[in-house]
Amino acid sequence: MRVRKAVFPVGGLGTRFLPATKALPKEMLPIVDKPLIQYAVEEAAAAGVEEFIFVTGRGKAAIEDHFDHSYELEDLLSSRDKRSELDALRAAIPDAGQVAYTRQQEPLGLGHAVWCARNLVGDEPFAVLLADDLILADTPCLKQMVDAATETKGNVVAVMDVSREHTARYGILDVGRDDGHLAEVRGLVEKPDPAVAPSTLSVIGRYILMPEVFDHLGKMEPGAGGEIQLTDAMAKMIGTQPFHGLRFEGERFDCGDKLGFLQATVAFGLARDDLREGLGDFLLSITKDLQK
Ligand code: G1P
């Protein structure tokens, strides 16, 4: 299956990170030295995506600037012979015409944000990536999903088990046949209470979806929290198209949460050759202090 287009819903307010996100989009918060949104874009590119569609909102101009040239800065780096910084900067910029922006004019939910991209996506399979969910993996998560979608010829969502007390934070699967790697999706429910959740297998912010999902989103039926939910529209496709959850290989960090964000910073720092030793030494020394 060819997945050429990816949608990045980046309209959210980021209230959990105020005051940091007062003037800065939450997707621009850095893990080590890269903004969250750049990790998501690089993951999509590594999975073969060629068109990057951002669904933005007010106050998100920094994201557009980030994926554009900054001639002054590039000039300065080049005059100072800062080759590696310049290369890193340029590598992050998609080619001309590969990026598109549309605006979600009202905060009506994730499903509505994805629906805003319908004309840019058109009639083909596409990916959705939520930049808050950051995944450290040898094979990028979305690449694993494209392979799974090719195998199953249908929709694929990234899934992982969470503790039952946390089901009200996620879209939860009603699981059919399950080989421990791919789980057939028999139903989907958005943020169920632990007592009624059909399982603890949760949707993480990576989706490969068939374009028919737009027909269901277009009905604008409000779901959990009064919002138009992507989960509800996906649930309507079950039974008409193959639909699977992929237990991806890798570690997921919820960077929409302060603790998850800190954990990601440490894990991504330790994964870097230039930081592993220094950060490792520091962690060992403070761990000793904590044990005292
Ligand atoms: C969204 C989705 C939810 C999914 C989650 C993954 O929720 O609605 O189904 O499990 O992302 O992070 P949000 O985190 O935006 O509330």
pLDDT of res. 291: 80
Q: Does domain 5-155+205-256 have CATH number 3.90.1150.10?
A: no
Pairing of strands 171-178, 182-190: antiparallel
Q: Whose CA is nearest to atom 16 of ligand 1?
A: 169
* Virtual torsion, Cα 270, 271, 274, 278, nearest 10 deg: 10
Q: What local confidence, expressed as pLDDT, does residue 95 receive?
A: 92
Q: What is the pTM of this model?
A: 0.96
Confidence check: pLDDT of 292 > 80:
no
Taking residues 239-263, report their average pLDDT. 97
57/63 Cα distance (integer angstroms): 11
- 14 confidence band (pLDDT: 50, 70, 90): confident
Q: Determine the atom of ligand 1 nearest the C-alpha atom of 170.
A: 10
Q: Does the pLDDT of residue 276 top 80, yes or no?
A: yes
* Ligand 1 atom nearest to 132, measured from its CA: 12
Ligand 1 atom showing the smallest separation from residue 171 Cα: 9
Bridge partner residues of 100 (DSSP):
53
Is the minimum distance from the CB of 135 to ligand 1 under 6 angstroms?
no
Cβ pair 270, 280 in contact under 8 A: yes
With 80 as the cut, is the pLDDT of residue 231 above it? yes
Distance 190 CA to ligand 1 centre (A): 8
Q: What is residue 92's predicted lDDT score, i.e. its pLDDT?
A: 87
Pairing mode, if any, of strands 126-129 and 51-56? Answer: unpaired
Q: How far apart are CA 195 and CA 76, in angstroms?
A: 59
Lookup: tokens for 125: 């399979």
Q: Determine whether 208 is exposed, middle or buried from the number of CB atoms within 10 Å of its CB (0-12, 13-18, 19+).
A: buried
Distance 203 CA to ligand 1 centre (A): 7
Residue 44 has pLDDT above 90, yes or no: yes
pLDDT level of residue 130 (50, 70, 90 thresholds): very high
User: pLDDT above 90 covers what percent of the chain?
Assistant: 93
Output the residue whose Cα is nearest ligand 1's atom 11: 205
Q: Where are the alpha helices (DSSP H) in 133-291?
A: 141-152, 213-217, 230-237, 258-270, 276-291
The reported pLDDT for the residue numbered 64 is 95
Choose which residue among 17, 157, 166, 170 to substitute to test ligand 1 binding: the one with the highest number of ligand atoms within 8 A of its C-beta: 170
Burial class for 156, CB neighbours closer than 10 Å (0-12, 13-18, 19+): buried
pLDDT mean over 146-156? 97
Q: What is the pLDDT of residues 91-127, one digit of tens each?
A: 889 999 999 999 999 999 999 999 999 999 999 999 9
Average pLDDT, the chain: 96
Cβ–Cβ contacts within 10 Å for residue 162, how many? 18
Question: Distance from the CA of 221 to the center of ligand 1, in angstroms?
Answer: 17
Q: Are strands 182-190 and 51-56 parallel, antiparallel or unpaired?
A: unpaired
19 preceded by a cis bond (ω within 30 of 0): yes
Q: How far is the CA of 84 from the centre of ligand 1 (A)?
A: 37
Cα 180 to ligand 1 centroid, rounded to whole Å? 22
**DSSP codes joined into one string, 2-59:** ---EEEEE-----GGGTTTTSSS-GGG-EETTEEHHHHHHHHHHHTT--EEEEEE-TT
